[in-house]
């Protein structure tokens, strides 16, 4: 069943179009920056982008920062929201279950296909932007100062701007980029879990995707709200930008660990809720 | 094959299915009839384990549903509320995906898939179908594709909900012949429909639901047994009526309904008297009359609340209409 779901995912034009768009945006940004040499000053605009002009191999990280706030969550929410609700909407759900495909099996297969999509999208963005970065900005063999990453407005919590100033070897950058990819992948899994849960509730894939996005927007608003400080550490988007800490020297693990933990809890709870709902639901679509 | 006991489904305050006792025997061609919204589809969904019953028991092929439904579903081919497909894929790709879903080994595993798909497409008359995506198919083609999907695993039981929807008369005939052929080969057919003609021509046994309740379940032959009267069409209706004096129960121009069991007898009397007979046959109740006599109007008809002072003209006749033909004809033929 897992294989069948992956085949379905792969044969949907939408999967590839969305990944192409995700990869296209950083390329577009890179072209503008490379042509004008006008990078945003540190602390403004997408994270890490200011550092890219001096070293193209940081561009994957910058590219992820570009797609992370909106583009990537939207794509993941759409795909994850479509999982069960999409089958229900097209009327295939009843035929799959009557085949029979066990409800738990179907849910697991859908979850895995969403994970595969998410990781494919993140890795594709990283790889294409790496190529773009090398082509447009080149790689200085000179060790660069690891970015004085301004904690952007989203990560405005406890992490203050720290100019580490030490140098990073290419191998270092690779390892840290992989760490960042993993962290972003898990963050997106949190988004996917919300959308998947909603997908088992409604028969409208659009509704599930919008619901998940509404939850994210709410979370983003509350993160910046001092009055909501008491719930701040538990918001799903609270630690989204903590992956930037992979590019500090030494790596600042505190928020990264918390980010993993928060997403882990969201994923476990929401998937359990999705399973409980789907396994006992009357399929009337 | 299918046995339900006091099967009940309640959606909130709505009682969709009310204590239904179905009994479908192996080899039956069972027609499951009822007006729109009478609970047919809900019953079908419960049989397939898609909807969970509020109370009551279901047994399909001797196994309790839904607790062991996974054991019987591989032997069931289903078409529920119209066919569904992935519109961007071809018919064959759709069947391959459906067939690959769910565990199957042995005769219905991956190795035989291509052959089984070809056979199923051939059976439903889509053997020459090309690679165009299903979204370009006509309604009839989709219906055939849905049937092909139901036939992929040579099922022992076919559960079909309105299988001839969207087909032209030729197509309906083809599907009917196909179902009859499958039935002769041992497949039990459970056909849910509101198209009486379809059921009348195909089925051997009918169950009729009305507002969630099974109001009738009987062999079709018994239901349509002669009523003990003879219908005569004659151009000499006046003289015939005089001749058969006292036995004519109804007269409608040249059509007479005679209280006499044997049409040959009546015919002989008329012809001996020199009267012409253009048509003569024992009276049988049509399935339509039967249906109208035991069911109310479907849930898709919504009458204005009766007796409202604002619209006396509209509410009066509208409320009376659906009830009238039912009891009237029911009494007349009994």
Q: Is A69 contained in some domain?
A: yes
Contact A94 B50 (CB under 8 A): yes
d(C-alpha B177, C-alpha B168), whole Å: 14
B135-153 mean pLDDT:
91
Nearest to B97 among A4, A13, A90 (CB): A4
What does the DSSP assignment read for A249-270? SS--HHHHHHHHHHHHHHHHHH
- A103 cis-preceded (ω within 30 degrees of 0): no
Q: What angle do CA B161, B125, B206 make, to 5 degrees?
A: 30
For chain B, say whether A284 makes contact (Cβ under 8 Å): yes
d(C-alpha B286, C-alpha A199), whole Å: 47
Q: Which residues pair with B157 in a beta bridge?
A: B76, B188
Given a cut of 70, is residue B318 above it in pLDDT? no
B235-263 mean pLDDT:
87
Q: What angle do CA B39, B45, B51 make, to 5 degrees?
A: 100
Q: Domain span at residue A262? A: 2-279
Residue of A nearest to B96 (CA): A4
Given a cut of 90, is residue A171 above it in pLDDT? no
The token pair that represents A37 in the structure block: 């040499």
Contact A284 B84 (CB under 8 A): no
Q: Please tell me the pTM assigned to this model.
A: 0.83
The token pair that represents B315 in the structure block: 């509410």
Contact A95 B80 (CB under 8 A): yes
Given a cut of 60, is residue B309 above it in pLDDT? no
A224-241 mean pLDDT:
91
Q: Is A248 contained in some domain?
A: yes
For chain B, say whether A17 makes contact (Cβ under 8 Å): no
Q: Is A235 contained in some domain?
A: yes
What are the residues whose beta carbons fall under 8 Å from the beta carbon of A218, sequence distance 6 or more? none
Domains and CATH numbers, chain B: 2-222 (3.40.50.300), 225-284 (3.30.70.100)
The candidate with the shortest Cα–Cα distance to B101, out of A11, A9, A106, A108, is A106
> Residue B297: enclosing H or E segment and its boundaries?
none
d(C-alpha B164, C-alpha B182), whole Å: 16
As a whole number, the mean pLDDT across chain B is 85
The token pair that represents A41 in the structure block: 């000053």
CA of B16, closest CA in chain A: separation in Å?
13
The candidate with the shortest Cα–Cα distance to B149, out of B187, B104, B192, B113, is B113
Q: How confident is the model at residue B106 (pLDDT cuts 50, 70, 90)?
A: confident
Given a cut of 90, is residue A191 above it in pLDDT? yes
- What number of C-beta contacts closer than 8 Å exist between A and B? 75
Dihedral in degrees, nearest 10, Cα atoms A6, B69, B190, B134 = -10
Q: How confident is the model at residue A285 (pLDDT cuts 50, 70, 90)?
A: confident
Tokens 């605009």 belong to A45
Nearest to B73 among A12, A91, A98 (CB): A98
Contact B78 A95 (CB under 8 A): yes
Residue A49 or B334, more confident: A49
Given a cut of 50, is residue A144 above it in pLDDT? no
For chain B, say whether A95 makes contact (Cβ under 8 Å): yes
Q: Is A105 contained in some domain?
A: yes
- Most A CBs within 10 Å: which of B39, B50, B87, as the mutation test of the A interface? B50
Q: How confident is the model at residue B290 (pLDDT cuts 50, 70, 90)?
A: confident
Which pLDDT score is estimated for A164? 53
Percent of chain A's residues with pLDDT above 90: 58
For chain B, say whether A1 makes contact (Cβ under 8 Å): yes
d(C-alpha B155, C-alpha B74), whole Å: 7
For chain B, say whether A36 makes contact (Cβ under 8 Å): no
What are the residues whose beta carbons fall under 8 Å from the beta carbon of A63, sequence distance 6 or more? A26, A29, A30, A125, A126, A128, A129, A132, A133
Q: Is A77 contained in some domain?
A: yes
Residue of A nearest to B54 (CA): A282
Residue-wise pLDDT for A84-126, tens only, equals 999 999 999 999 999 899 999 999 999 999 999 999 999 999 9
A193-206 mean pLDDT:
95
Pairing mode, strands A144-145 and A167-168: antiparallel
The token pair that represents B245 in the structure block: 């004096």
From the CA atom positions of chain A, what is the Rg in Å? Answer: 20
What does the DSSP assignment read for B134-162? GGGS-HHHHHHHHHHHHHTT--SEEEEES
Dihedral in degrees, nearest 10, Cα atoms B264, B268, B270, B274 = 150
Nearest to A91 among B70, B82, B89 (CB): B82
- Most B CBs within 10 Å: which of A15, A100, A105, as the mutation test of the B interface? A100
The token pair that represents B253 in the structure block: 């121009």
In this structure, is the dihedral angle defined by the CA atoms of residues B245, B251, B254 and B256, taken in order, positive or negative?
A: negative
- Most A CBs within 10 Å: which of B10, B85, B102, B143, as the mutation test of the A interface? B102
Q: Is A54 contained in some domain?
A: yes
Contact A90 B48 (CB under 8 A): no
Max intra-chain CA distance, chain A: 63
B249-276 mean pLDDT:
89
d(C-alpha B334, C-alpha B231), whole Å: 15
Q: Is A285 contained in some domain?
A: no
Contact B78 A98 (CB under 8 A): yes
Nearest to A91 among B84, B93, B97 (CB): B84
Contact B81 A13 (CB under 8 A): no
Percent of chain B's residues with pLDDT above 90: 48
d(C-alpha A114, C-alpha A121), whole Å: 10
Cβ atoms B123, B174 nearer than 8 A? no
The token pair that represents A272 in the structure block: 């359990």
Total domains present in chain A:
1
Percent of chain B's residues with pLDDT above 70: 90
Measured between beta carbons, which residues in chain B are less than 8 angstroms from residue A94?
45, 48, 50, 80-81, 84
Highest-confidence segment of A38-52, A163-177, A264-278, B226-240: A264-278
Chain A stretch 210-269, residues whose beta carbon is closer than 8 A to a beta carbon of chain B: none
Q: Is A135 contained in some domain?
A: yes
Q: Where are the alpha helices (DSSP H) in chain B?
A: 40-47, 69-72, 91-100, 113-123, 139-151, 169-184, 196-202, 220-223, 237-243, 263-272, 287-294, 312-320, 325-333
């Amino acid at each position: 069943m897992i294989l069948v779901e992956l085949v379905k995912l792969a044969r949907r034009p939408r999967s590839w179009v969305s990944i192409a768009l995700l990869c296209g945006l950083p390329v577009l940004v890179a072209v503008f920056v490379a042509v004008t040499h006008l990078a945003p000053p540190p602390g403004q605009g997408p994270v890490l982008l200011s550092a890219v002009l001096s070293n193209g191999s940081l561009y994957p990280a910058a590219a992820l920062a570009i797609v992370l706030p909106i583009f990537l969550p939207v794509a993941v929410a759409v795909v994850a929201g479509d999982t069960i609700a999409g089958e229900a909407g097209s009327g295939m759900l009843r035929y799959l279950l009557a085949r029979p495909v066990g409800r738990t099996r179907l849910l697991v297969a859908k979850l895995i296909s969403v994970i595969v999509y998410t990781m494919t999208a993140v890795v594709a963005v990283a790889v294409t932007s790496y190529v773009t970065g090398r082509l447009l900005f080149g790689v200085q063999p000179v060790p660069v100062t690891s970015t004085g990453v301004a904690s952007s407005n989203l990560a405005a919590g406890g992490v203050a701007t720290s100019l580490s100033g030490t140098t990073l070897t290419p191998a270092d950058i690779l390892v840290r980029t992989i760490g960042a990819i993993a962290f972003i992948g898990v963050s997106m899994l949190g988004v996917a879990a919300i959308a998947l849960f909603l997908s088992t509730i409604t028969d409208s894939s659009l509704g599930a995707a919008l619901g998940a996005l509404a939850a994210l927007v709410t979370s983003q608003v509350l993160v910046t709200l001092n009055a909501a400080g008491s719930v701040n550490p538990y918001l799903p988007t609270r630690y989204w930008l903590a992956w930037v800490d992979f590019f500090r020297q030494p790596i600042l693990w505190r928020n990264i660990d918390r980010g993993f933990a928060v997403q882990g809890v969201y994923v476990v709870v929401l998937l359990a809720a999705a399973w409980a709902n789907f396994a006992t639901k009357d399929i009337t679509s | 094959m299918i046995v339900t006991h006091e099967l009940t489904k309640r959606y909130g305050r709505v009682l969709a299915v009310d204590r239904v006792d179905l009994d479908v025997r192996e080899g039956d061609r069972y027609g499951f009839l009822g007006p729109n919204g009478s609970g047919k589809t809900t019953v079908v969904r419960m049989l397939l384990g898609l909807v969970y019953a509020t109370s009551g028991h279901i047994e399909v092929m001797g196994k309790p549903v839904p607790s062991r439904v996974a054991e019987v579903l591989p032997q069931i081919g289903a078409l529920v509320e119209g066919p569904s497909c992935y519109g961007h894929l071809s018919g064959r790709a759709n069947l391959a995906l459906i067939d690959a879903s769910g565990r199957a080994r042995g005769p219905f595993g991956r190795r035989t898939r291509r052959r089984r798909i070809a056979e199923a497409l051939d059976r439903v008359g889509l053997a020459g179908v090309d690679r165009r995506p299903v979204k370009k198919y006509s309604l009839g083609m989709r219906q055939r594709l849905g049937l092909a999907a139901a036939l992929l695993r040579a099922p022992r039981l076919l559960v079909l909900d309105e299988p001839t929807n969207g087909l032209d008369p030729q197509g309906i005939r083809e599907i009917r012949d196909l179902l009859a052929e499958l039935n002769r080969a041992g497949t039990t057919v459970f056909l849910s429909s509101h198209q009486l003609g379809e059921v009348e021509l195909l089925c051997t046994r009918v169950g009729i639901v009305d507002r969630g309740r099974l109001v009738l379940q009987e062999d079709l032959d018994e239901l349509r047994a002669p009523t003990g009267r003879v219908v005569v069409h004659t151009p000499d209706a006046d003289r015939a009526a005089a001749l058969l004096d006292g036995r004519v129960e109804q007269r409608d121009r040249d059509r007479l309904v005679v209280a006499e069991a044997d049409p040959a007898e009546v015919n002989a009397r008329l012809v001996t008297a020199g009267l012409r007979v253009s048509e003569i046959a024992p009276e049988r109740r049509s399935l339509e009359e039967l249906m109208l006599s035991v069911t109310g109007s479907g849930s898709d008809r919504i009458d204005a609340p009766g007796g409202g002072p604002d619209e006396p003209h509209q509410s009066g006749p509208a409320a009376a209409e659906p009830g009238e033909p039912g009891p009237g004809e029911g009494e007349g033929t009994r």
